[in-house]
Amino acid sequence: MLTDPAPELLVEVLRGDRDQRPLRDDHSAAGLRATLEDHVFELFGPERRATPTVISSATLRGSGRVSELFDSPLGRARSILIPTVFRLLVAHVHVQDPYDDALAAWRGEHPRDELVELLSHFDHDQVARLRADVHAHYCTLVQGLGPIPSSWLPRTSQRARQLLGGGSVELRDVVDLVVGSTHGVVASVALVDITTSPLGAGAERALRYHALVQTLRTSVVPLRTVAFSSATGELWALDVDHEMLTRSVEDLVEALARKDAPQ
Amino acid sequence: MSLLVQRRLTSGHVADLIAHAPQDVAQVSDDHRASLASRFRAVPPSEHRRLDAWMVEQAGRPPGPFAWSPATARRILGNNALRRLPSVPDTILNAVRDELADQLLRAARGYARPGSLGHWLAGVAHPVLGLITGEAVNWATQVLECAQGIDVEYRVASSDVYFDVAGARTTLRGRRDLIITTDTGRVVVRIRSGQPGKSAGPGLRSDLVVETLAHPDGLAPRRYLGLWPDAGLALGVDGTMENVRAGARDFVRAAVAQRRHGLVRAA
């Protein structure tokens, strides 16, 4: 299901009506893992590679493209600061100035990170532009997000790492927000990806990838996977089903074949 | 043979690992403790030595200087918040906030010594406190998710376990997050980030040996479980004498390697 650009708050589409949710599916994960293992064996053979081929949501999001405006230093800085300020919002922290607060939080977490180094090389104009940019994205985020109830068990920057082919392939993923528990009778886990780029075909592949990796990690199929663009306010929500996960396996196999192909 | 049990991290598998943990466990005596102490005394340290599973996994390489960060503070804050939950029915977020407020209050009253968590929290900026809150909520939620599949009585560990080796200027530390009590003994759970590497087994055995040595009767837990939610994996070592001995040997090896590193650095 794809919704039109931002007709409602993110929290409203996140979990929907409880009565409409499908039963918890904890059987599909094993089949998906077996299918993936078969594909990896076909591509990589029986030998375990010394260095694993790493796949992340960025690999799938950027399939085929060369470079974009968002790869600029300004875009990179923004793509770090917006998820950071999003984490503050989910923790119900009062944000006074999104740029200063996000930067202070990021510095506190990664004191020697390259972003801090990057910002020190920005001139006044670039800093002012970044500040205005972060403010604009923050406003879009606040308008589209809505308060996330603590009873939904929200966790931010949820990491996942899955090995395939005895360690020849490593799937890495970071989901900006995960809500819901895997222990309910009905599916209740929803995944949210906050992006500072407009949504496109790559974002849809990334949504499917998040759902697949979450399924492999927890062995339970999530309810829904959502992308929100802080650039445009667009909101895409996909209900996770077996067909969607199978498509994600195909995306992944294509990406692996591309990565494995001789340059 | 020392066995490592591996399963997917699902509620069913975790419940199974607990239910089918062996009931015959090792018991260490004073003789065992004295024997271990003599081995550590044979590797004299230049200063007081602290060893834990991480150092065993890193083959005795000395760790870098410790610094508080949202990532290093989340486990203490998250576990303390979880211990508040059964007594006061509330959300995890509020429990974490209460825990943070307690830490800050302790610092404001002058009870927090320099270098402690409370002392560090008192000096960080407001947005960093927000990030720390988020990280602690993440940790607590993760622990709760892991614990929801456990259908027997469990509690969140109030602290890690420590054992001072007599006359060897050595302290061993074992990390633990959940303690599950069954009629026939206890199962201890440790939750970790990332994915288990090749040294995950020795790491778990190291935690097992400290837990056993620190027990008043020297009784090993039935099983020591390591849960890696990021990777969706659960690993376990049984509380057999073989595993306890292997864990103790790994600690002595780590002490030897640490001493060697120290001598190289000094030379």
pLDDT in tens, B165-193: 988 999 999 999 999 998 899 999 999 99
The pLDDT of residue A89? 94
Measured between CA atoms, the residue of chain B closest to residue A174 is B230
Number of compact structural domains in chain A:
2
End-of-domain residue from the set A122, A145, A168: A145
pLDDT at A146: 87
Whether A65 has its CB under 8 Å from any CB of chain B: the answer is no
**Bridge partners for A227 per DSSP:** A193, A236
In this structure, the answer to whether residues A209 and A254 fall within a common structural domain is yes
d(CA B223, CA B76): 23
Paired tokens of A116: 């801090």
Q: Which two tokens stand for residue A258?
A: 């591309």
A94 with A162, same domain? no
A1 located within any domain: no
Is A5 within the bounds of a domain? no
Q: Is A100 in the same domain as A169?
A: no
Residues A51 and A91 in one domain: no
Q: Which of B163 and A44 is assigned the larger pLDDT?
A: B163
Q: Give the model confidence (pLDDT) of A189-246 as tens digits.
A: 999 999 998 998 899 999 999 999 999 999 999 999 999 999 999 999 999 999 999 9
Under the banding of pLDDT at 50, 70 and 90, the label for residue A67 is very low
For residue B46, the model assigns a pLDDT of 83
Residues of B with Cβ-Cβ distance to A151 under 8 angstroms: 91
Q: Is residue A227 part of a domain?
A: yes
Report whether pLDDT(B267) > 80: no
B215 vs A6, more confident: B215
Handedness of CA A127, A129, A132, A134 (dihedral sign): negative
* A212 and A168 within one domain: yes
Best mutation target, B7, B77, B92, B138, to test chain A (most A CBs within 10 A): B138
**Whether residue A163 sits in one domain with residue A60:** yes
Tell me if A50 is assigned to some domain.
Answer: yes
Cα maximum dimension of chain B: 58
Checking if the pLDDT of B1 tops 80, the result is no
Instruction: Select the residue from B11, B13, B91, B93 to test the A interface by mutation, using most A Cβ atoms within 10 A.
Output: B93
Domain boundary at A145, A169, A203, which?
A: A145
Q: Is B159 helix (H, G, I), strand (E, B) or coil?
A: coil
Whether A139 and A235 share a structural domain: no
Q: What is the DSSP letter of A15?
A: S
Q: Are A43 and A82 in the same domain?
A: no
B138 to chain A: closest CA residue: A155
Q: Which residues of chain A are within 8 Å of residue B11 when distances are taken between CB atoms?
A: 182-183
Supply the pLDDT for residue A243. Answer: 95
Helix (H) or strand (E) holding B258: helix B241-266
Indicate whether A3 belongs to any domain: no
Q: How high is the mean pLDDT of chain A?
A: 88
Which residues constitute the domain of residue A127?
Answer: 69-145
CB A238 within 8 A of CB A207: yes
Residue A69 confidence (pLDDT) above 50: no
Alpha-carbon distance values, B93 to A242, B143, B181, B227 (Å): 34, 14, 27, 23
Residue A128 shares a structural domain with residue A169: no
pLDDT digits (tens, 9 = 90+) for A134-156: 999 999 999 998 889 988 999 99
Query: Contact A222/A190 with Cβ under 8 angstroms?
Result: yes
Q: Which residues of A fall within a CB distance of 8 Å from B128?
A: 104-105, 107-109
DSSP E strands: which ranges in chain A? 53-55, 155-164, 169-179, 190-195, 224-229, 235-239
Same domain? For A129 and A228 the reply is no
Is the model's pLDDT at A63 over the cut of 80?
A: no
**Inter-chain CB proximity B145 and A182 less than 8 Å:** yes
Tell me the residues of chain B between 40 and 79 that have a Cβ less than 8 Å away from chain A.
Answer: 69-71
Compare CB distances from A109 to B131, B133, B230 and report the shortest one's residue: B131
Residue A64 binned pLDDT confidence (cut-offs 50, 70, 90) = very low
Q: Average per-residue pLDDT in chain B?
A: 92
Structure tokens at B26: 């090792």
Confidence of residue B89 (pLDDT cuts 50, 70, 90): low
- Tell me, yes or no, whether A28 and A157 share the same domain: yes
Backbone angles phi, psi at A237, to 5 degrees: -130, 125
State the sign of the Cα–Cα–Cα–Cα dihedral B104, B106, B108, B114.
negative
Domain boundary among A145, A176, A192: A145
Which residues from chain B sit within 8 angstroms of residue A158, using beta carbons? 138
